[in-house]
Structure 1
Amino acid sequence: MTETAPAPLAAPARPSALREFFHYFAENRGAVFGMWIFAGFVFVAAFAPWIAPYGPAEQFRDHALTPPAWVEGGSWAFPLGTDPLGRDMLSRLLHGARYSFFVGVVVVTVSAAGGVLIGLISAFSPKWLDAAIMRVMDIILAFPSLLLALVLVAILGPSLTNAMIAIALVAQPHYVRLTRASALGELQKDYVTAARVVGARLPRLMFVTVLPNCLAPIIVQAALSFSTAILDAAALGFLGMGAQPPTPEWGTMLAEAREFILRAWWVVTFPGLAILITVLSINLMGDGLRDALDPKLKRS
């Protein structure tokens, strides 16, 4: 009677890419905390008209500069107080989240789309064109980003739309350099050579073969650019070159409240805290994305 050989043990199933991503992302507790704060920020931005107790421009002249509810002289009708024109601070902050989120989405979309396209063109171009593109990017990066955005807005005219255009143009070189470096690294690999051998055309090589393998650092850069866009838009608004009154944009709210900083601390404190918490949460989430997407940082 012959003995049968034991069946080989099945290899353990590899977790899906999404499950693996969340595993490494969840190891960074700061990133998880930032993600929940950012989710709250998105919820507030989406439902501000229904959450806010009043309209952002609604004025209560008899309650101008009313302190927050927990301060002596405050009223629970205005939990975070009112501004010099009697507008509810809570309502303006909630509606301001919509503008900040809109700025971040538009700036990241425009700058990433243009930067990735130019970066891929640079990586696949002849040396002279590649050098010309990168020298232009180096010139743009030589200027302080906020100063360059301020000059562009001064040329285009102060408005929220022009501020977003200026911030997107200033942020674009970062995507160009990042995409070019990632693409050049991928071009040396065997799968790109194999695609060329089988006759893949240039657009397919760029957008189907190479680009998907360059997305990890681009996603991290997009997350960090989101917070930078919000911060730059607030800075331009504070300088009077971004959103114009009575738009409830956080930087514009700070600019309107400058002269009342000593007698009504809440009109500058709450918009500043909104900017701080939002930018900090996005940066924390960006660190988690970097940890989860960069294979060099993953622990076995």
Structure 2
Amino acid sequence: MSLLRTKKFLFGSSFLIILMTLSILNTVLNDGEIRQEPFFYNDDGTINKAPPYPPFDVFPLGSDMYGYDMLHTVVEGAKYSIGIVLVVAFLRMFFSVVLSYFLFRVPESVFKALKTFAEPLSFFPQTLIAYFLLSTVVLYTIHGFHHPLWVRVSYEFIILILIAMPSLNVQLIEQKRRVWKEEFIQSAITLGGSKRHIYFKHILPQLYEEWILMFGQQFLQVLALLVHLGVLHVLFGGTIMGEGPPSSVTHEWSGLIGLNKRFMLTYEWIVYVPIMFFALTAISVAMINKALSDLFKHREMVRNNRDM
């Protein structure tokens, strides 16, 4: 069984790769500019058309209130939206794997205390935690931003990573403790294998497939979290709050949804276009995860048949 022959994997990965490539090329070749048609005039100088333009009129997916092509806007913001989610999901998994390495052999009483602390946090909405921790840093005030862009971005990365660490660590520790109790691990201990040797030679090969699937789950979780924060006007990199409507520092998708939700009942395509791309991205990642899950199950079946 090969991933490259799996329709789910091909569709999901192709969508993400094409979207990211177009987004990066727009920055490299077009300096990040987005097509705009402010007004269309008649021969006598009067205004014939004014934004927002509906889909299939001027642009394929319509324009926003300022005449910017919605499809072009979403493509430009893809590298930020998908890139942010990829980095956060990867760092969540990386730090949790490293930290759980030092914690999975703690005494049972210590592990129960960690679990007692982490389990309530898994039921508390991460959106609320992130909102209260981020809103005072990323929102623009009458005095401007209190912190430079790199500080706001770094702080937001740290918060988005840390809020998932307790429950994710407990989950990884439970997986490692489960494998540690297997007979072949006890045999390796009896033969004198060190903790480091057993961990890297016996435990990791048993769990890395589960971690790959967990990375996809974290990707979807972070994607949903950014949408929720966007609706609350907590945008990645900062939200400019002035006399007019709020605006975003970047064109990332959660900002497009949160800033334009007021047009939901009038110019609905301005909101639905970024929502559609969020949904397509989530579906693509879910399809990749399903293809990987099927592949891992097939490998397990082959291994079991070989051992019989």
TM-score in same-fold range (> 0.5) = yes
The aligned residue for residue 290 of structure 2 is 287
The aligned residue for residue 124 of structure 1 is 105
The aligned residue for residue 154 of structure 1 is 135
Does the aligned pair in 2 maintain the 1:34–1:284 contact within 8 Å?
yes
Q: Does 1:104 align with 2:90?
A: no
The aligned residue for residue 253 of structure 1 is 256
Give the fraction of aligned pairs with identical amino acids, expressed as a percent.
Answer: 20
The aligned residue for residue 243 of structure 2 is none
1:71-105 CA-to-partner distances (Å, cap 9, x unmatched) read xxx32xx4433222333322211121101121122
1:230 to 218, 223, 235: 223
Does the aligned pair in 1 maintain the 2:23–2:79 contact within 8 Å?
yes
Give the AA of the match of 1:49: T
The aligned residue for residue 36 of structure 1 is 14
Deviation (angstroms), 1:161: 4.5
Q: Does 1:65 align with 2:51?
A: yes
Give the AA of the match of 1:292: L
Give the AA of the match of 2:254: G
What is the DSSP-based 3-state SS (H/G/I as helix, E as strand, rest coil) of the residue aligned with 2:67? coil
The aligned residue for residue 141 of structure 1 is 122
2:203 and 2:32 mapped to 1: Cα distance? 50
What is the DSSP-based 3-state SS (H/G/I as helix, E as strand, rest coil) of the residue aligned with 2:164? helix
1:258 and 1:116 mapped to 2: Cα distance? 38
Does the aligned pair in 2 maintain the 1:35–1:281 contact within 8 Å?
yes
1:269 to 268, 272, 276: 272
Structure 1 stretch displaced more, 176-185 or 267-276: 176-185
Deviation (angstroms), 1:259: 2.7
1:217 to 206, 210, 213: 210
Does the aligned pair in 2 maintain the 1:110–1:168 contact within 8 Å?
yes
1:162-181 CA-to-partner distances (Å, cap 9, x unmatched) read 44333322333453233222
1:90 and 1:52 mapped to 2: Cα distance? 15
Does the aligned pair in 2 maintain the 1:104–1:229 contact within 8 Å?
yes
The aligned residue for residue 172 of structure 2 is 179
2:230 and 2:209 mapped to 1: Cα distance? 32
Deviation (angstroms), 1:252: 0.8
Deviation (angstroms), 1:53: 9.6
Change in 2 beyond 3 A, CA 1:156/1:213: farther
The aligned residue for residue 9 of structure 1 is none
Structure 1 stretch displaced more, 182-191 or 277-286: 182-191
Does the aligned pair in 2 maintain the 1:65–1:84 contact within 8 Å?
yes
Change in 2 beyond 3 A, CA 1:194/1:297: closer
Does the aligned pair in 2 maintain the 1:291–1:298 contact within 8 Å?
no
1:81 and 1:52 mapped to 2: Cα distance? 20
1:37-85 CA-to-partner distances (Å, cap 9, x unmatched) read 23333433443425779614x7654376242562xxx32xx44332223
1:120-144 CA-to-partner distances (Å, cap 9, x unmatched) read 3332112222222222221321312
Deviation (angstroms), 1:151: 2.6
Change in 2 beyond 3 A, CA 1:113/1:263: same
Deviation (angstroms), 1:249: 1.1
2:278 and 2:29 mapped to 1: Cα distance? 19
Deviation (angstroms), 1:253: 0.9
Unaligned 5+ runs, structure 2: 41-49, 140-151, 240-247
Change in 2 beyond 3 A, CA 1:162/1:231: farther
2:2 and 2:171 mapped to 1: Cα distance? 22
1:167 and 1:193 mapped to 2: Cα distance? 38
The aligned residue for residue 115 of structure 1 is 96
The aligned residue for residue 92 of structure 1 is 73
